[in-house]
């Protein structure tokens, strides 16, 4: 008997006891997608050459033309306040979405769609969301998790030929029903049942399911012409214990006997369509099962595999749009609005907040772009997708809260000239859907990452499941060497693998070392707590947060490497340092809460000799804020997706900023002093070298500052 077999023999029983039980639905979620750079962080050995080799984001000529023309034209048709008041998109917008195939972005050209890549898809959603979130949601849902994506991967030829061209050109509008009143976050436990049966249709006996269901929160349901549905299939003719066939996905045309589209939900009073769907004894022929009869019971795996990619696109795009809009508006309004004889953006309290928002935006958007590049390279990084969903939407919520604080009364008075209120109201929707953040953060990022990304845990679980002593021994021996290597690197320094940019070499060195400390901490937590860690959600959330910060820090290095944009170096470095500092702070907090004897000693040992990158000092944050105020091109680089709507506050702000740039900072400051002294726009402008320009700016700035009023 070899050493590996001997180790496995004695370890099999305790490991079988320590490892948590895993159901089929959990296994499908764990096995979905691929492992990308986040796996290297989990291993403690990040390779910066591999990181950079992911390459830059690329748009084809068709994709760029669509963004420059159709997307810009659509943005120019959107009036945020009018859409919000009407609680629907105008008919001409619905028609434009159909005619220009916004609903078919992910459908290949051979089926009549646009055939866009992931980055282009995300760019379209992001730009629309900076103008009107409801339009962005309406466009993104048919291209996200739903019938089109499921058909492309699993549909029969007949289903593809019928539905894909109709979905691409908008003749059919899809929705997808998964969430039930009693199965929200625990979507795998949906109570909706389909009983295998046979019905006579047009004189023929047809096999199918009699499905009874109740779904809610279904976006586009009120206007859908085809409903994607997930239900639990059951065959009552089988022996007891074998009757459950598993979650199954089907496509049901509207109308279908027994199915009813309910009245509208109004999530945060949003204008996008959302509502419940009910069904009582709805007959679903086998031809309506996505993929046909062979895919009965495979629905959860299909959904998890699709979600592994889709979660990285749509909701992160909404978060990025909110961040970009918040930074652009806060910085711009801070230049236009004056108090105490000075633009409010120059006050330290506001300047520091704006700088922090910009730094956070660089890091989170870097992670979003990096993941889109990985997706376009054929990866399906499920753990990274979960990281993006949580941290991009949370960053969007944080940024818009800051922006609302900066705008003060301007931000809370509703009306056409308001810059933020509609998007502010939408933000909790992004936080809640596609896996609520509180669930995804506490259970999925680390819970899935610990198994998928760890170099040995998956092998150990498979060996225990198959009672393979030799395989378990080999995995355990490799695991031991892995722990020893990361312990050494935690104490004495980790090598920098690859060639990060020279300008960020110090930060890359720190990232490598923190990655080793994180990997060691994960093994210690799993070793000390075993299966209990799965239920200790506060600790699991911290382990997920640390991985997320390391992932975003890595993305900062990638972004600066592929862009090589020297003016952005101060912001790139600040973003990287902020994420590294946050990662280390999370580790310190974790060891302080680890329920194990000697936790403080263990923590001090693992985190010892860390070349701590101190948080950014006030002087550095104020310097970044000054850079943003004085260099519009830097703001443009940070906020490239901010687009112009049909009218309203954003148009007014952009116009005022354009005039201010023509005047110059010194002339603008002088003009504002003259206004305070003369209390007359006309008199103040008359004393300037270019009176017409000065007067135009004063009137434009006043329009930005004013708010709307209505009849009582």
Helices 599-606 & 469-492 angle (0-180, nearest 10):
70
Which residues are within 8 A (CB) of 87 and not within 5 positions of it... i.e. 6 or more apart? 266, 269, 271
How far does Cα 362 stand from its chain's mean position? 15
140 vs 145: CA distance, rounded Å: 9
Q: Which of 305, 360, 434, 584 is catalytic?
A: 434
508 vs 501: CA distance, rounded Å: 9
Contact 649, 663 (CB under 8 A): no
Residue carrying structure tokens 């009407």: 86
Phi, psi (deg, nearest 5) at residue 66: -65, -45
How far does Cα 84 stand from its chain's mean position? 24
How far does Cα 420 stand from its chain's mean position? 20
DSSP β-bridge partners for residue 193: 212, 232
Q: How far, in Å, are 233, 376, 478, 570, 623 from residue 616 at the CA level?
A: 56, 34, 39, 11, 11
DSSP β-bridge partners for residue 231: 248
The answer to whether residue 630 is catalytic is: no
Contact 249, 235 (CB under 8 A): no
Which residues are within 8 A (CB) of 366 and not within 5 positions of it... i.e. 6 or more apart? 552, 555, 556, 558, 559, 575
Contact 321, 395 (CB under 8 A): no
Q: How far, in Å, are 305, 374, 540 from residue 370 at the CA level?
A: 20, 6, 25
Contact 683, 666 (CB under 8 A): no
How far does Cα 108 stand from its chain's mean position? 24
Please choose, from the candidates 542, 536, 621, the residue with its C-alpha nearest in 3D space to the C-alpha of residue 574.
Answer: 621
Please choose, from the candidates 657, 705, 658, 662, the residue with its C-alpha nearest in 3D space to the C-alpha of residue 681.
Answer: 705
* Catalytic positions: 434
């Amino acid at each position: 008997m070899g050493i590996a077999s001997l180790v496995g023999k004695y370890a099999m029983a305790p490991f079988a006891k320590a490892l948590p039980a895993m159901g089929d639905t959990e296994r499908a979620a764990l096995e979905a997608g691929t492992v990308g750079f986040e796996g290297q962080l989990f291993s403690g050995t990040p390779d910066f050459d591999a990181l950079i080799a992911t390459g830059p984001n690329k748009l084809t000529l068709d994709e760029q033309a669509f963004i420059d023309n159709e997307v810009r034209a659509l943005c120019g048709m959107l009036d945020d306040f009018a859409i919000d008041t009407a609680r629907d998109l105008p008919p001409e917008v619905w028609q434009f979405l159909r005619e220009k195939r916004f609903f078919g972005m992910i459908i290949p050209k051979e089926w009549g769609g646009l055939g866009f890549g992931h980055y282009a898809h995300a760019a379209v959603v992001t730009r629309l969301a900076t103008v009107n979130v409801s339009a962005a949601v309406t466009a993104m849902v048919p291209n996200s998790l739903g019938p089109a994506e499921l058909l492309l991967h699993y549909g029969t030829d007949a289903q593809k030929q019928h539905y894909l061209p109709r979905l691409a050109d908008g003749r059919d509008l899809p929705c997808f029903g998964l969430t039930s009143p009693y199965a929200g976050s625990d979507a795998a436990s949906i109570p909706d049942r389909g009983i295998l049966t046979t019905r006579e249709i047009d004189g023929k006996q047809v096999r199918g399911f009699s499905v009874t269901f109740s779904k809610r929160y279904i976006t586009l349901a009120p206007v859908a012409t085809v409903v994607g549905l997930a239900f639990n299939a059951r065959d009552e003719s089988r022996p007891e214990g074998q009757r459950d066939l598993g979650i199954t996905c089907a496509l049901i045309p509207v109308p279908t006997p027994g199915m009813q589209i309910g009245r509208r939900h109004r999530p945060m009073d949003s204008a996008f369509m959302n509502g419940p769907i009910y069904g009582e004894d709805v007959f679903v022929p086998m031809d309506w099962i996505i993929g046909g009869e062979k895919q009965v019971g495979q629905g959860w795996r299909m959904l998890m595999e699709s979600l592994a990619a889709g979660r990285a696109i749509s909701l992160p795009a909404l978060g990025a749009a909110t961040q970009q809009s918040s930074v652009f508006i806060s910085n711009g309004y801070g230049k236009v609005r004056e108090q105490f004889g000075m633009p409010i953006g120059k006050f330290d309290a506001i300047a520091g907040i704006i700088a922090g928002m910009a730094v956070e935006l660089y890091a989170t958007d870097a992670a979003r772009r990096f993941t889109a590049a990985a997706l376009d390279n054929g990866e399906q990084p499920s753990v990274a997708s979960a990281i993006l969903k949580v941290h991009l939407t949370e960053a969007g919520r944080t940024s818009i809260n800051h922006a609302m604080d900066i705008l003060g009364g301007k931000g809370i008075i509703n009306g056409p000239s308001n810059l933020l209120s509609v998007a502010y109201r939408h933000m909790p929707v992004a936080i809640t859907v596609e896996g609520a953040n509180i669930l995804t953060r506490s259970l999925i990022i680390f819970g899935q990452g610990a198994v998928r990304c760890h170099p040995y845990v998956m092998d150990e679980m498979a060996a225990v499941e198959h009672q393979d002593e030799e395989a378990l021994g080999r995995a355990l021996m490799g695991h031991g060497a892995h722990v020893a290597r990361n312990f050494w690197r935690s104490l004495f320094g980790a090598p920098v693998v690859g060639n990060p940019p020279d300008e960020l070499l110090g930060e890359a060195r720190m990232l490598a070392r923190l990655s080793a400390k994180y990997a060691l901490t994960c093994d210690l937590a799993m070793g000390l707590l075993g299966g209990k860690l799965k239920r200790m959600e506060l600790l699991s959330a911290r382990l997920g947060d640390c991985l997320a910060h390391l992932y975003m820090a890595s993305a900062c290095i990638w972004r600066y490497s592929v862009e090589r944009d020297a003016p952005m170096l101060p912001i790139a470095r600040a973003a990287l340092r902020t994420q590294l500092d946050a990662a280390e702070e999370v580790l310190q907090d974790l060891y302080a809460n680890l329920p194990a004897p000697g936790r403080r000693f263990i923590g001090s040992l693992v985190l010892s000799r860390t070349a701590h990158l101190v948080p950014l000092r006030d002087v550095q944050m104020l310097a970044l804020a000054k850079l943003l105020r004085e260099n519009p091109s830097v703001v443009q680089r940070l906020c490239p997706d901010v687009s112009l709507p049909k009218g309203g506050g954003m148009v007014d702000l952009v116009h005022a900023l354009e005039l201010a740039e023509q005047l110059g900072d010194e002339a603008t400051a002088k003009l504002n002093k003259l206004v305070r002294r003369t209390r007359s726009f006309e008199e103040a402008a008359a004393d300037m070298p270019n009176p017409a320009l000065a007067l135009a700016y004063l009137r434009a700035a006043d329009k930005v500052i004013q708010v709307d009023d209505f009849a009582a």
